[in-house]
Amino acid sequence: MDNSRLEQKVFLALLVVVSLAFGWILLPFYGAVFWAVILAIIFAPLQRYLYRRFNQRRNLTALITLLVSLLVAVLPVILIAGMLVQEGAILYKQIESGELDIGSWVVNFRELLPQSIQLQLQLQRFGFGDLDSMRERLASGALEGSQFLATKAFSFGQGTFQFLVSFFVMLYLLFFLIRDGRDLVARIRKAIPLSDAQKRRLFSKFTRVVRATVKGNIVVAVTQGALGGIIFAVLGISGALLWGVLMAFLSLLPAVGAGLIWTPVAIYFLMTGAIWQGVILTLYGVLVIGLVDNILRPILVGKDTKMPDYVVLISTLGGLALFGLNGFVIGPLVAALFISTWGLFTSPDEP
């Protein structure tokens, strides 16, 4: 009896060590593995539909599903990222040459504000009491930001081989996850030491949370960013693509979101005499960009990932700090799974 327990403990220890070693090996490609799993879960319904339509031909349906996911989800992101880096490099050159003087814009905006002691005190408290100092700080900040994008463009060229390897790994893994996903899920479900009812509910929750989180966050963010970039381009604001991408990222933050970008621009228009541009941008921001979240998110997310705004905010920022760009999805996804899993624990009788 003692020998069997010892053998079981040794086997469990070996299982943990081997699993950790395998995870350590995959760590350099964690982004590729993560997105392959996410895309496989999202496009699984399409694969099942094609599987029935094409007489259960697994390889063919997996290949078609892979091509659809590539056209819908992967290639647009790569194209936009390339255009964004290119526009950031152009912006850097404009700021460096003095063609674009952001500091003077803000100084002019400050001069349009009502003069008050409180305003002056607040500006001095943050080190913006002196006009020249304000112009220098803002210009240097904008220069550093655009220089960062330009540096990323150069480093992207240097790391093209690594990017291509990760991209190939993601596509290769995605094909087999789409084709053999059901068998893999069955094996994982069999290995988990829970009852059949608990495992069924846990996996059902997991897939619903993944789809709802990704659809709710990414689709809403892309929609708001695209709408914001379009109105900026129509109004003749330089760097419309860059501002649109920033609005897409900020739209993941509850309450304020994309308004952090378009609101100051609308105020600047109104205070500099560009009344119709300011009114159009304000109405468009409130009635179009602002309502996207209220209309699309309930449709895409439903009741699967009801999370408080503060949880969304903290999980998004925490995900960004830990995982970089992938954290926009990983952070809210982990938070949603955390809430869902504890919901299963505290309410085991719910369907």
pTM of the model: 0.70
Does one domain contain both 205 and 114?
no
Does one domain contain both 226 and 105?
no
**E strand or H helix at 296, and its extent?**
helix 290-301
Does one domain contain both 215 and 350?
yes
Query: What range defines the domain where residue 50 resides?
Result: 43-158
Stronger pLDDT, 15 or 205, i.e. the higher one? 15
Does one domain contain both 330 and 202?
yes
Our CA angle for 236, 239, 240, nearest 5°, is: 65
Report the number of distinct structural domains present in the chain: 2
CA torsion, points 162, 78, 319, 300, in degrees to nearest 10?
Answer: -140
Does one domain contain both 153 and 260?
no
Does one domain contain both 312 and 251?
yes
Q: What SS3 state is found at 98?
A: coil
Tell me the two tokens of residue 280: 């159009």
Stronger pLDDT, 253 or 182, i.e. the higher one? 182
Residues 103, 294: Cα–Cα separation, whole Å:
35
The tens digit of pLDDT for each residue in 18-62 reads 989 988 998 888 888 888 988 888 888 899 899 888 888 888 999
Does one domain contain both 235 and 317?
yes
Can you tell me which residue has the tokens 């094409």? 54
Q: Kindly report the backbone phi and psi dihedral angles of residue 350, in degrees, each rounded to the nearest multiple of 5, phi listed first.
A: -70, 145
With respect to residue 299, please indicate whether it lies within any of the assigned structural domains. yes
Does one domain contain both 103 and 220?
no
127, 137 Cβ separation under 8 angstroms = yes
Does one domain contain both 128 and 268?
no
The tens digit of pLDDT for each residue in 111-138 reads 555 555 444 555 555 555 454 555 555 5
